[in-house]
Amino acid sequence: MKFENGDFLIKTAEEKDIPVVLNMRKKLFSDTGVPRDAFRDDLDSTLLQDYTDAYKRKDMLHFLAYDRETDGQPAAIAGLLLKRDFPYYLFKPGYYGWVIDVYTEPEYRGRGLATRLLEKVRLWGQEKGVAELKLISASQNARKIYEKFGFRPTSEMSMNIGGQNTYNELIDLANGINKP
């Protein structure tokens, strides 16, 4: 194994690594403060199927950072999903990159791992012809990292018409912003 900067190995995840990726995603969900009962009952099987399908189509990729001291336990993750929804599929190249699953284990935060992984994500997006990266920032600390990296707020807006808190509202509530 070759460790970048002597401390971490950054590896491109493969389809066989999806269980590791999904385990990191669970930790991310937990960190956001969104309660488990807000999610679908079949969340685990749905994510496994969706991620597997996206990996097979080559529409999703993750990068994992491993600490050389932890015998194979990942320290951080970041991924990208190519999305082809309206109206983006009407414009060239017909899709955008949705940054997903950006998470660093608490004991590794502040070491620049998220930035290194985001750079890998950005480069893969460029290789795929992506013109725009988008994401949802789950915390104010994450937002600072994203803005420093070059992300900016956009004109997207949302409106709750269902009567229960939406994902964005739950994240905002967990961060003490936009309280209804």
pLDDT digits (tens, 9 = 90+) for 114-137: 999 999 999 999 999 999 999 999
Give the C-alpha separation, 149 to 144, whole Å: 8
Give the C-alpha separation, 67 to 113, whole Å: 11
Q: What's the predicted TM-score (pTM) here?
A: 0.89
CATH dotted code for 8-154+161-174: 3.40.630.30
Q: What is the pLDDT of residue 73?
A: 84
C-alpha pair distances (Å), 89 with each of 20, 42, 123:
31, 29, 21
Q: What is the pLDDT of residue 45?
A: 97
Query: Residue 2 — pLDDT band, cuts 50, 70, 90?
Result: very low
> In terms of pLDDT, which residue wins out, 4 or 12?
12
Sequence ranges of the domains in the chain: 8-154+161-174
pLDDT digits (tens, 9 = 90+) for 25-83: 999 999 888 888 889 999 999 999 999 999 999 999 999 999 988 767 899 999 999 99
pLDDT digits (tens, 9 = 90+) for 83-120: 999 999 999 999 999 999 999 999 999 999 999 999 99
CB-CB contact of 105 with 76 (8 Å): yes
